[in-house]
Amino acid sequence: MTEIIAFLNIGGPALWVIAGLSVVTLGLILWKLWRLSLMGAWRRSASEKAVSLWQKGQHDAALSSIQHRKGLRARVVKAAMQADRTLHSEDARDETARVARGALMDAGSGLRALDLIATIAPLVGLLGTVLGMIDAFQALQDSGARADPSALAGGIWEALLTTAAGMAVAIPASMALSWFDSINDRLAHDFDDLATRILTKGKQG
């Protein structure tokens, strides 16, 4: 622990901020994985089964099979089925779209914070580097003719450390954000596909 604190002190306040951002990033990623798992982001079979039953005209069985499901797809499927039974065509589509938008908002919670971290972590690192370089050259100016090149190199190394740390946080944050965005895109496609199959085929049975 002492070594970690000493290492963070080398980079100054900027490195401490980046260390905090790294902890927040890891927490956000783990929290998103847990939330998406609870929301059934990777489970589609129950919704597919319900839609297949609906398309065959077995409406009660379809609703019964999905009734107690809490996943994102199940939420949209239930809304589409209930709207198809109780509302006119256009109103049913609007109601289903409203529920789908809410489900996507739930699936995308936390992504703005991850995006912010991916943006500001390199900037904090760059700020730390600039401040460190200012200190290093100020020390060089104060030393005058007695300047020690090794001391200057050490100051520059310490200054550049924050830039590297900022990138080390931003890269995984950006990768995780891209992956979570792809999950949201997949969910949006599935919502549209499942709802369309219900609202265009539901009355044929």
Structural domain of 70: 2-204
Looking at the 3D structure of the chain, how many domains does it have? 1
DSSP code string of 127-194:
HHHHHHHHHHHHHHHHHGGG--HHHHHHHHHHHHHHHHHHHHHHHHHHHHHHHHHHHHHHHHHHHHHH
- pLDDT class of 129 with cuts at 50, 70, 90: confident
Per the CB < 8 A criterion, the answer to whether 56 and 123 are in contact is no
Asked if residue 159 has pLDDT above 90, the reply is no
Give pLDDT tens digits for 59-102: 999 999 998 888 999 999 999 999 998 889 899 999 999 999 99
